[in-house]
Amino acid sequence: MLIHIPNVLSPEEVRYFRDRLEAAEWTDGRVTAGEQSAKAKLNLQIPQDSPECRELGEIVLRALGRNPTFNSAALPLRVYPPLFNRYDTGMHFDAHVDNAIRPIPGAGMRIRTDVSSTLFLTGPDEYEGGELVIQDTYGIQSVKLPAGDMVLYPSTSLHSVNRITSGSRWASFFWSQSMVRDDTKRRLLYDFDCSIIETRKALPDSHPAVLGLTSTYHNLLRQWAEL
Ligand code: NI
């Protein structure tokens, strides 16, 4: 499933990110690509160990921590430290699937990539082309969001970034290992949680329907979660 999460970063935060990234060192994006995807990839990234990457990555992680939609949809166990990329005119990333397992630099651990996230840092009016194209179970989806908005999609999806024909597209991207590996189960839990939220708007928390639905949600998560 694809989920659009608006306003993960405020306009002020986006402005701050843009200023910091403007001054950062940009290098060839193929450093984090696998063997097949390196051939398909032409973009720029800031080094993972740069002060900008660390500082801005921390701000993204804090923003995720306070975002109920991200937590409900991704059910994250571990989140990879966010990376930052940029596609200038002529740059693109052809169809590929991201590596399944990624070592977390300096942490001595690896994560399984279950959920991919792209957080847009430039608005749709700042570049032409550059759509994130995702081959989902429901067909091909083309995504281009306002600055500060984020899309989540299953890491099992084949995806690409269309060639930029003018302007520049900046984004943060990262992966999460979910407590629930299977996308269909995650979708059911997300829909279930959304229904509970709607029910709680209509009924008091002490109502047996709210109590029953909430209990069943947690018991289902207990069945499916791997920690
Ligand atoms: Ni990718």
What angle, rounded to 10 degrees, do the helices at 183-202 and 208-224 form?
160
CA of 217 to the centre of ligand 1 (A): 32
Residues 6+ apart with CB under 8 A from 198: none
- Are residues 147 and 14 in contact, defined by beta-carbon separation less than 8 angstroms? yes
Per-residue pLDDT of the chain (227 residues; tens, 9 = 90+): 899 999 999 999 999 999 999 999 999 988 877 787 888 889 999 999 999 999 999 999 999 999 999 999 999 999 999 999 999 999 999 999 999 999 998 889 999 999 999 999 999 999 999 999 999 887 999 999 999 999 999 999 999 999 999 999 999 999 999 999 999 999 999 999 999 999 999 999 999 999 999 999 999 999 999 99
Query: Taking phi first (over 0 means left), then psi (-120 to 50 degrees means alpha), and beta for anything else, what does residue 75 get?
Result: left
Dump pLDDT digits (tens) for 154-189.
999 999 999 999 999 999 999 999 999 999 999 999
* Helix ranges, the chain (H): 11-22, 35-40, 51-65, 68-74, 183-202, 208-224
CA of 160 to the centre of ligand 1 (A): 7
pTM strictly above 0.85: yes
CA of 23 to the centre of ligand 1 (A): 25
C-alpha distances out from residue 21 to 7, 8, 25, 26, 227, Å: 19, 18, 8, 9, 35
CA of 167 to the centre of ligand 1 (A): 21
